[in-house]
Amino acid sequence: MKKPPTWIRRASAGFVASALTAGALTLASAGTPALAGSSPDIPKAGWSPTDQDRLAQAEAEGQQTVDVLVGAQDGQASAVADRLAALGASVDYRDDSLGYLRASVATDRADRIAELSGVETVEIDAALAVPDPRPDASESPAPQPAPGAATPAANPYMPIQDMNAAQFVAEHPTLDGRGVTIGIIDTGVDLAHPALRTTTTGERKIVDWVTATSPTDDGDPTWISMATKVSGATFTVDSRTWTAPRSGSYRFGVFNERAASLGGEVGNDVNRDGNRAGSSGLFGVLWDGDKTVWVDTNQNGSFADETPMTDYKVRYDVGTFGTDNPATPVVEAMPFVVQIDGKNKFVNIGIVSGQHGTHVAGITAGNGLFGGKMTGVAPGAKLVSVRVCMFAGGCTAHALIEGMIYAAKQANVDVINMSIGGLPSLNDGNNTRALLYNRLIEQYKVQMFISAGNSGPGTNTVGDPSVAEKVMSVGSYITDATWRANYGSSSPYQENLHYFSSRGPREDGGFKPNVVAPGSAISTTPTWQSGGPVAGTYPLPPGYSMLNGTSMASPQAAGAGALLVSAAKAEGFQRKPDQIRQAMMSSARFLDGVGAFEQGAGLIDVKAAYALLRQNIKTVGITSSVPVNTVLAGYLATPGVGVGIHDREGVTAGRRYTRTYTFTRTTGGSKAITYDLSWVGNDGTFSSGTSVALPLNKPVDVTVAIDPATPGAHSAILRLDDPATTGVDYQTMNLVVVPYTFRAADNFQVTINDKVGRNQALRYFFQVPAGTPALKVDFTGPTGEPGTGQARFLRYHPYGVNIDDNASTSCFVPAAGACATGSPNSRTTGSPLPGVWEVTVDARRTSDAEWTKFTLTASVLGATVSPNPDVIDSATAGVPVSRSYSLTSTLGSFSGRAVGGTLGSARQGPFTIGNRAVQDYDLTVTPGSTQLRATIGGTSDPAADLDLFVLNCTSGTCVEAGRSAGGSSEESVTINNPAPGAWKVRVDGYSVPSGSTSYNYVDVFTNPAFGTLAVTDTNASRPSGSSWTVPGSVTANAAPGSGRVLYGTVQVRTDTNLLIGSGDVVVRNVG
């Protein structure tokens, strides 16, 4: 694998990436650097950019160890375990049948794991946030009738009828999910909710309840250490005497509801007493060392009056903290289960960590909501609850894996839902979690449904782990009826997607999301929580809330899967995961007016999927490969090649080109099979032949002509269908993006006048050239005056990750909440990555106009300074040297000024480095220095990949303080307020194809003691192409040190203080 580029960096350990605009790197050489020997051990092949950043942060923070998740090649788990041990790693969890290992390894050795023989994937264990599905801060919705006991199964509140699920169950009442068990991998499911107690046949609904977090590694306060041994009829621990249920030997621990990590929705109050003054948050826990646990729920110090409990699945033991007051609507009590870890000597107090899992469970399989006929999708199904999320801080990646393993292997569920995930920049499904989920689906014949993510409406935002190949990734659909019923809002269209629904495709063009399903629902929440409607619509009783997100769409799809499995079991037809996927995707209804990259195959249709599945679908293995063109395409498993057309870069309106697919049939007979080729959702951009014949295991090429006519996203599905088989045999997703370009004739700006419908989103793309100092976006239209609407714009990086928060209150005009990244009307990105940027516009559900008119203006900004460099051969200490600088606005118009700053001591190149060589540059930072910056670039070998590291050696031991290790040689690291003393800048010649290359170099630490560069200027309008001259003066107060020069910059900054140009100032000698 090629080395991935560094992500959009998260600031950590006091360092941030800095662009080359901070200096032009034109200084002359000042000597030859010392050589450090061979290349250092740094993470390269096998590590995603996200994990490179995580590892760098761990090193910068001085973490001694990191936890890693390893996927071994088939049959290699044991050998990989031995190789990890040889590295000094401790293997904490291992499943050889899946090839999965979780290990703790020394931070400075972690980078070696990717290169171990037998390792297929490796990633750093990290927490993923639980999605927040609350529709925050809705304003002035129209009141609506509330759901209740009289609400029928087909309704807009829990719109299961949108998928024909309610209709299917009405026609087949005994195929309602009975005989099926659904795994809910989430925050845990409330055991006390009336709608989650029994199935439609009166059987217990929740048949297993476990916690999958680690008792030793996660700091989960519900895992109680039972290390203390006690005996007798009574015993004393920490000066308190306890009464045992009978005389004997036990292990003892204490559950503390007020532990700092038991906050969140539980709020450190499991017995719901409000933590009144003088009360205790401690509950004794007693274990007989075998299978029985007692919990002192009434806190009286006696276990003799407590009911003995064991693991829930054994006999469904449920305890209760607190005593309910029947006179109040909210239940002042919380149910719990126990779980015994005999190996590690821990007992878990199983409680939900939030409402999310209970809401999901109600959507999949709730029965008799509000005590009436309103149900989830599969009310006859049973549930297994697997809690993988903490009470604060999210859900660990290893719990998401190990909880999934438990559900598939130990709990033997039929269908799994997980409404949790995250958005890495490289969302290609090539990581440990995706590898293992694919293996679980294949080995244990259980289909997983996972939310696509809530990072939309930008393209290529579909989240991990829904990007795993065999997982059903589910986007969020909604009708106008549900907008009205659940939000008191409306839409100009009868059906559409939620704006936040993550869009595809996968980075490699993979078919994600697979389908869409209703993503808004009033469903079950813990009975100890108040009702949660959208404010102003209607009240809801405790235990019911309206939540939205792909978190709610995924359980709709999982419930649909449960209905299909239920029918297959009852009627005796096949139900393997690949058959379920083909039935659902072949029968989904493609939505008009919605791109293929947004909806996948379309809206699930349970009745149509059932009609296909009951024919015992014969699936076939077909693979595809085709060149893709994205900023990250070079870092895919096969560089530059994916499984579907994904050309975000290099496409021009009106310019026709071709892509060549290679299809290979990998299963079935040796005789060639002819497949019909057809396009779905095509706006005329794509064309191909009408059929292809595929022999067994012989690649066949198919040429696709691409002719995009207009700027925007053009997508379609290519279907390969054998008319002799049931369903569509193979489908690929195809997306090309045509951006607007910035031209001098238009003053380097693009202006768009358009309108956006309430609850709708539009998208626009802009090609940002290399070396652009700034990208500015301005937005006007809504004013706050009645009838002008409410809308916003959001920016998306070429990686497909959002720059602005897409929360339902963020950055709107008029404001519905804060805009953390700047003004709602104007925001600028400094040093934007070259490539195609996306800007979306969406209108809020509270907009007072059905259509909001707006003007969106994107422009690129830049400026030059002359002379550059401004070289002063000699200056007298303390005596100002007068200067004059000419500045020019070289790109779009802006308002700004020239500014000076503090001088610094600098070493400058150019230098020369060889392939795999390392060069170290030592420097001593003086007390009072405000910044240390090192920058490299401008290699004579344009293919060279140099990396930059800054090491803090002030303690006597050099520790990495910052790195910039992208896929090119343009690297910069800035350390603010560096400690005085010894530092080291390291340049690594990671890859120099020509053998050696020259490169520009500068390191500089600024300090007021060296002097100042003063410039006199004020903010003013700077039209494109305009120039202005400003006076300046350079005052050198101290010499920079041997072999170094004084260095400063004249900077051009906008009125929002964004740097868009600079020029170097060099003082060679100070007398």
pLDDT band of residue 14 (cuts 50, 70, 90) is very low
Distance in angstroms (rounded) separating the CA atoms of residues 56 and 294: 45
- Listed in order, strand segments (DSSP E) in 903-1044 are 904-908, 911-914, 918-925, 931-937, 945-952, 959-964, 971-976, 981-991, 996-1006, 1011-1015, 1020-1022, 1027-1036
pLDDT digits (tens, 9 = 90+) for 527-552: 999 999 999 999 999 999 999 999 99
pLDDT digits (tens, 9 = 90+) for 117-134: 999 999 888 888 877 767
Fold of 16-42+904-1006: Jelly Rolls (2.60.120)
* Residue with tokens 């170290």, as numbered in its chain: 920
764 phi and psi, to 5 degrees?
-140, 145
Distance in angstroms (rounded) separating the CA atoms of residues 416 and 100: 19
CA atoms within 13 A on the CB side of 410: 16
| Straight-line distance from the first to the last Cα atom of the chain, in angstroms, rounded to the nearest whole number | 54
Q: What secondary structure letter does DSSP report for 76?
A: -
Would the pLDDT of 36 be above 80? no
Mean pLDDT of 925-933: 97
Q: What is the pLDDT of residue 52?
A: 76
Which amino acid would we find at residue 1004?
V
Would the pLDDT of 136 be above 70? no
CATH of span 160-212+352-613: 3.40.50.200
pLDDT band of residue 108 (cuts 50, 70, 90) is confident
Among 326, 317, 242, smallest CA distance to 285 is for 242
Distance in angstroms (rounded) separating the CA atoms of residues 859 and 1058: 14
Q: What is the pLDDT of residue 47?
A: 72
* Residue with tokens 């509140």, as numbered in its chain: 157
Among 771, 766, 768, smallest CA distance to 970 is for 771
Q: Which position has the higher pLDDT, 5 or 149? A: 149
Mean pLDDT of 480-509: 96
CATH architecture of 636-722: Sandwich (2.60)
When the pLDDT of each residue in the chain is averaged and rounded to a whole number, the result is 93
Residue 299: exposed, middle, or buried by beta-carbon count in 10 A (0-12, 13-18, 19+)? Answer: middle
C-alpha of 392 from chain center: 18
CATH of span 741-860: 2.60.120.380
C-alpha of 410 from chain center: 29
pLDDT band of residue 20 (cuts 50, 70, 90) is very low
Q: What is the pLDDT of residue 138?
A: 40
Question: Is CATH 3.30.70.2980 correct for 49-125?
Answer: yes
Would the pLDDT of 425 be above 90? no
Token reading at 577: 């995961």
- Listed in order, strand segments (DSSP E) in 310-366 are 319-321, 334-341, 346-350
Full DSSP string of 258-325? T-TTS-TTTTT-TT-STT-TT---EEEEEE-SSS-EEE-TT-SSBSTTS--B-BHHHH---EEES---
Cα 633 to Cα 109, 463, 507, 639: the distances in Å are 28, 17, 7, 6
Share of residues in the chain with pLDDT > 70 (%):
95
**Residue 251: which H helix or E strand, with range?**
strand 249-256
Would the pLDDT of 352 be above 70? yes
Domains 49-125 and 741-860 share a fold: no
| Domain 864-903+1009-1070 class in CATH | mainly beta
pLDDT digits (tens, 9 = 90+) for 154-202: 999 999 999 999 999 999 999 999 999 999 999 999 999 999 999 999 9
pTM metric for this prediction: 0.90
pLDDT digits (tens, 9 = 90+) for 268-311: 999 999 999 999 999 999 999 999 999 999 999 999 999 999 99
Distance in angstroms (rounded) separating the CA atoms of residues 431 and 109: 20
* Residue with tokens 């946030």, as numbered in its chain: 129
Q: What is the greatest pairwise CA distance in the chain?
A: 96
Q: What is the pLDDT of residue 423?
A: 87
Q: Which are the catalytic amino acids?
A: 186, 356, 551
Q: How open is the CA angle 607-159-579, to the nearest 5 degrees?
A: 35
Where b means 16+ CB within 10 Å and e means fewer, 524-563 reads bbbbbbebbbbeebbebebbbbbbbbbbbbbbbbbbbbbb
Q: What is the pLDDT of residue 964?
A: 87
Q: How open is the CA angle 964-965-970, to the nearest 5 degrees?
A: 75
Q: What is the pLDDT of residue 46?
A: 61
Q: What is the pLDDT of residue 42?
A: 31
pLDDT digits (tens, 9 = 90+) for 634-688: 889 999 999 999 999 999 999 999 999 999 999 999 999 999 999 999 999 999 9
Would the pLDDT of 3 be above 80? no
Q: What is the pLDDT of residue 131?
A: 75
pLDDT digits (tens, 9 = 90+) for 50-99: 777 788 778 777 888 999 999 999 999 999 999 999 999 999 999 999 99
1052 C-beta neighbours (distance < 10 Å), count = 30
Domain positions in the chain are 16-42+904-1006, 49-125, 160-212+352-613, 223-350, 636-722, 741-860, 864-903+1009-1070
